[in-house]
Amino acid sequence: MMPATDMPDIASHPGLRLMDSTAALLRGDRRPPEPTDAVGGAFLDLETPMALAPDAAGRALERIAGLEAVDSRARQAARGAGRQLGEVLALPDPLREAVFEALAAGRRWRFLGLGIRGLRLPVGGVGETQLFRIDPGAGVARHDHGGDEFTLVVSGGFHDGHGHFGPGEVNIGRPGFTHEPVADRDGVCFALAVSFGDARFEGPIGLLQRLTGH
């Protein structure tokens, strides 16, 4: 646990720096067009047109049909096995790279409740930096905080009983602040959290937490 007065600033804490840079991208930064697009277009302009063979169109349509069949199977396989990869690829950089580093280091998504998983990011610094994936409509049980917790919404959104938070917005939980975050029902919510103390749950989960010491 870390008192609020001892919390490091953004410049000195790697987890908070990651949150700050991710939030900056979510709030409107845009990447320029890929330079390879412009180079490819320039080369096409220099090409000399050539006449097509009489059956070129038919052969091209056959190849397109074959490619579409392969692409359809690939999409089905991706939906079944690669959905998680697609979600990670859609995360803003550098958060995406931090997730890949965590997975490469052997860390795995942990089950944290019905519809909720978490991945600890090995970015260093005191406290814990973690990415949460919350299914639509799933929620975290009502809890207080043993130290400051900063949660950035990366995608989707949630309501915690005090206000609604969407992409680029930060929810701050301090000791004595009790809330119950529930994800919006229109999509998966990804949230990046930097916490300096454990969550203290109410109700049955809180009782189990006190009995087990976790």
The C-alpha atoms of residue 73 and residue 70 are separated, in whole angstroms, by 5
> pLDDT tens digit string along 103-125?
999 999 999 889 999 999 999 98
Q: How many residues are present in the chain?
A: 214
The pLDDT of residue 72 is: 60
**Which of these, 152, 145, 100, 146, lies nearest to 123 by C-alpha position?**
100
Report whether pLDDT(83) > 90.
no
pLDDT at res. 204: 43
The mean pLDDT value for 1-14 works out to 60
> In sequence order, which residues have a C-beta less than 8 Å from that of residue 3 and are 6 or more positions away?
147
Mean pLDDT of the chain: 78
- 82 band by pLDDT with thresholds 50, 70 and 90: low
CATH topology of domain 91-212: Jelly Rolls (2.60.120)
pLDDT of residue 76: 58
pLDDT of residue 11: 74
pLDDT for 214 beyond 50:
no
pLDDT tops 60 at residue 5? no
Residue 14's pLDDT band, with cuts at 50, 70 and 90, is: very high
Which two three-digit tokens encode residue 214?
């976790």
Beta strands in 82-137 (DSSP E): 110-113, 116-120, 128-134
Q: What are the backbone dihedrals phi and psi of residue 41, each rounded to the nearest 5 degrees, phi first?
A: -65, -40
Rg (CA), the chain: 23
Residue found under tokens 């320029």 = 32
pLDDT digits (tens, 9 = 90+) for 39-80: 444 444 545 566 666 776 677 667 666 666 656 655 555 454
Where are the domains positioned within the chain?
Answer: 56-89, 91-212
Residue 193's SS3 state is strand
